Amino acid sequence: MNTQSTTVNRSARVIAAALIGVAMATGLTMLSQHTDRASGASQRDTGGVPQATCFWFGPATMDNPATNLAYPEESAIYWGARFRLPAGATLLLDGKYPHARFMSLNAYLDKGATDDLIDTEIKPSKGSVNPYKAGANRYAPKRTYRVAVPGPDTTPRGFANVLDSSADGTKIQELIYRVYMPDTAGDRSVGSLPKPSVKLKSGKVLRGTKACRAINDSQRYFTMQTMPSNVYTALVNAAGTDPASNPAQDPLRWEKYFNLPLALSIFSYGATDESSRVNAKALGEQGAYYDNLAVKYTVAPINQAFGEVLMLQGKLPTTPSSGKSVKKMGSGEMRFWSVCSNSSPVETRGVDCVNDAQLKGLTDAQRNYTIVVSRAADRPTEAVTGCKVAWLDWGDAKDILDRDSGTLILRNLASDPSFAHSTQKITLADVDVTKNDNGGVTTDNQRGVMGDYLPTGTYFADEIAFDNSFDCAG
């Protein structure tokens, strides 16, 4: 018997089964069970999560342990809704554009996005203006809009903004309303949410609690995809990899998110069997984790087996400014940029983020930045703004295998199509299968596409090693 071949085949079967299991796993919830009394459904335990209105639940933020799931962005606020429209009905959302860097509405079926409307695409109501257009008055007083969400067998007519949820009457329709970097407390409040009404096939319009009673699903939370502990353990120990650090690589390796199986197959990037990644690439681009269609994500696993301090260096794309003092909407190579530290796929919790606004005062003349990732206890003396260095908290929690691991996520939101170095420009052809491709020479071209806009990562043994090698620019 060929023991090595048997081990490889067994590993391949484990990885394949694991990926299937993960794709079906729905073990954690984004928002705990609760339904408003006003909705007509039974009262349930909220798990400490606020219920905004009879229609919207949330907000979901990184600050709230009950909603810190699915790798959230620290600068964003998320509101959710679950409902089932009857045949011929249309959900109408009447709102005001928030004072913020970005806002959008995404529709979902089975956790994958079916359609989205980002702020610049949403046409204002008569007499109003869209404050997200470049050059527009961000504080224009008249700023209302209406969005129509059709139910099954419904062809909405006469609506300027239509969000297609692909309703077929058999599945729950879901929405997420996102607001990035809101200017004021009012833009974060329940009062800022779009107000729902339901136009039935008969022409009758239901508003307020009557609308909620007619369409709300009794489950007032999202069920999120997470990795079971036994699957994580099996993947970390894939044949040919180092279980002390897998799936992290040194030098740091980023991979764009295309589909869930490919994202999880990074555990076999250094394995002796590559079939899981070959098969996953063939699936093409698919949504999951309630993804934001306006964002493209690039992921890099990290591990302190390579060093307690990780230095990221790259080039910051241009983005518009926002905030109460910014009265006119600007433009840039993308609308928003960030890099976030997160836990393992077992927990999917966010830890910390650094966004473009926090870096703008720390870059050099060519917009190059330095970010240090470490635990608070390991933070180097020179990882401070006085040295033109941003600090990203690695977090103190270990993974279920007692490893100091983590996940970095780079977000490129609403990139300008003319910008050639965004994550959006990476294709599946740019992603290699394993680090052993082409006789040990990688064929990966993700850095070839993004250039300096994809940060490099350098590990240091500890904070002393970093301070001894880094020249403070302050």
CATH number of the domain at 102, please.
2.60.120
For 16-49, the DSSP string reads: HHHHHHHHH---EESS-S---GGGTSPP---TT-
**200 and 236 inside one domain:** no
Token readout for 191 is: 């009062």
Residues 301 and 433 in one domain: yes
**Based on the domain organization, do 212 and 162 belong to the same domain?**
yes
Provide the number of structural domains found in the chain: 2
Residue 442, pLDDT score = 64
User: What span, in angstroms and rounded, lies between the C-alpha atoms of 472 and 386?
Assistant: 8
In a domain, residue 159? The reply is: yes
One domain, residues 276 and 371:
yes
For residues 472 and 474, give the distance between their C-alpha atoms in angstroms, rounded to a whole number. 6
Is 212 among the domain residues? yes
Q: Are residues 384 and 293 in the same domain?
A: yes
Note whether residue 13 is domain-resident: no
Residue 115 · residue 108 · CB < 8 Å? no
| Element housing 279 (H / E) | helix 275-281
pLDDT at position 20, please?
38
Q: For strand 173-182 and strand 76-83, is the pairing parallel, antiparallel, or unpaired?
A: antiparallel
224, 244, 266 - which closes a domain: 224
- pLDDT at res. 48: 62
Same domain membership, residue 267 and residue 358: yes
User: Which amino acid makes up residue 254?
Assistant: W
Assess if residue 360 is contained within a domain: yes
Low-confidence ranges of the chain (pLDDT < 70): 1-49, 272, 435-442, 473-474
Residues 179 and 233 in one domain: no
* Domain span at 335: 229-469
Burial of 294-306, coded b for 16+ CB within 10 Å and e otherwise, reads: bbbbbbbbbbbbb
How confident is the model over 215-260, as pLDDT tens digits?
999 888 888 778 999 999 999 998 889 999 999 999 999 999 999 8
User: Of 411, 392, 391, which Cα lies nearest the Cα of 335?
Assistant: 411
Distance separating alpha carbons of residues 35 and 116, to the nearest angstrom: 26
| Whole-angstrom distance, CA of residue 4 vs CA of residue 272 | 10
Q: Are residue 60 and residue 174 in the same domain, yes or no?
A: yes
- What is the predicted pLDDT for the residue at 94? 98
The pLDDT value given to residue 34: 30
Q: Are 314 and 410 members of one domain?
A: yes
Domain boundary among 224, 257, 291: 224
Asked if residue 17 is part of any domain, the answer here is: no
Q: Does some domain include residue 178?
A: yes
Instruction: Identify whether residues 107 and 84 lie together within a single domain.
Output: yes
The answer to whether residue 10 sits within a structural domain is no
Per the domain annotation, does 12 fall within a domain? no
Phi, psi of 100 (to 5 degrees): -160, 175
Is 399 in the same domain as 441? yes
What pLDDT, on a 0 to 100 scale, did the predictor assign at position 37?
33
The model's pTM: 0.90
- Do 74 and 160 lie in one domain? The reply is yes
Q: Which of 190, 205, 224 is where one domain is finished?
A: 224
> Where does 330-451 show beta strands of DSSP type E?
334-342, 350-355, 368-374, 390-393, 405-415
